[in-house]
Amino acid sequence: MSEVTNELMYELLKRMHADISGLKFDMTSTKHELSSLRGSVAAMQMDIHQISTRLDRVDQRLDRIETRLELRELSEAQARFEPHP
């Protein structure tokens, strides 16, 4: 078995230091990417919420229009005479 010398230990520590520095850089890069991804997800959630709100308003308006035109009652009356599968 080879002898452990100070030079060998120093070389191993230098390699470990370089590896750890690389890991720190990768970790920082990953944190930045994750932060960017969180921002994108938050923006998509806001967009989905806005779309949902608009659809709710359109649905309410359509209900009011149907009520005014009495289309709902006519379609319900018509459905009674149509065959159901």
What's the confidence (pLDDT) of residue 32? 96
Q: Is the pTM of this model over 0.75?
A: no
Token pair listed for 24:
């720190």
What's the confidence (pLDDT) of residue 70? 79
Token pair listed for 17:
């230091």
- Domain range summary for the chain, segments of one domain joined by +: 6-81
Instruction: Spell out a b/e string for 43-67, using b for 16 or more CB atoms within 10 Å of the CB, else e.
Output: eeeeeeeeeeeeeeeeeeeeeeeee
Where is pLDDT greater, at 77 or 41? 41
Amino acid identity for residue 26 in this structure: D
pLDDT tens readout for residues 11-67: 999 999 999 999 999 999 999 999 999 999 999 999 999 999 999 999 999 988 888
Highest average pLDDT, of 1-5, 30-34, 73-77, comes from 30-34
